[in-house]
Chains A and B, each alone.
Chain A
Amino acid sequence: MLTIKFFAVLRERLAVDQLQLDINKPISVAKLLEQLKSRSDKWHRELSRYDLLCAVNHEFAEPTQRVGNGDEVALFPPVTGG
């Protein structure tokens, strides 16, 4: 299974902190986002934020990176620590 985690304002607005999807063959993060956006208008709106960031297996990743079962993808807004 592919694990997708959501953080901060994105987690609150989607009302979900984690999803698991069965991905037959690896797909790009961009493609995964398109799949998630098709869930509903709300998902489409929230995942269309221009400033959305992505990590794959705990490292920042580009939308072109391919992911599959066993990977962990995280989606979150720009960070504000410190």
Chain B
Amino acid sequence: MSVQVAVQTEDFDVADCYKTLAKHASCGAVATFSGLVRDDTGDLQALELEHYPQMTEKALQGIVAQAQQRWPLAAVTVIHRVGYLRVNEQIVFVGVASGHRDAAFAATSFIMDYLKTKAPFWKKEHYAEGSRWVAAKDSDTVAANRWE
């Protein structure tokens, strides 16, 4: 299986990611997910992404390896950005190539659910009047637990 994992400040191009995933002979399905900076309040200035550099890529590689054990996958790409991001910028990309759609959809969901609860990233929202750390959501833990 071809695996690409990256933690970076730079943006990524979904079309390029797709082309890399789709080029495998055993690939009959590609599922992709992109996560963007959302502003629910109307005055979010930036979202800051902190991470634990030595642990982050290792954690993501481990999550991809678990997905590989569950489904027959041809290729997986996980890209997570860090640093300061503005509203509507891309934060995360997960793409999975597999023989059939069921595995591609399921593995994409699995990787995102695990990434949200088991990879050391933290979000901080910056507003004109101050900043606040984003609290972990119980719903994300519930989503991750459904795979156990």
Contact = CB atoms under 8 A, between A and B. Distances in A.
**Interface class of chain B by DSSP:** mixed
A7 B120 contact: yes
Contacts, number: 73
Given A7-B52, A51-B136, A55-B55, A79 B112 contact: no
Contact of B122 (A5, A7, A72): A7
B55 to A, nearest CB: 4
Interface in B107-138: 112, 115-124, 133-136
Given A8-B122, A80-B122, A81-B80, A55 B52 contact: yes
Nearest to B111: A82
Contacts of B118: 60, 79
A59 interface: yes
- A interface, how many residues as a size bin? 10 to 19
Given A55-B55, A58-B54, A79 B121 contact: yes
B17 interface: no
Given A7-B122, A8-B50, A9-B133, A79 B117 contact: yes
Interface of B: 35, 49-52, 54-55, 58-59, 80, 91-92, 112, 115-124, 133-136, 140
Interface of A: 5, 7-9, 51, 55, 58-60, 72, 74, 76-82
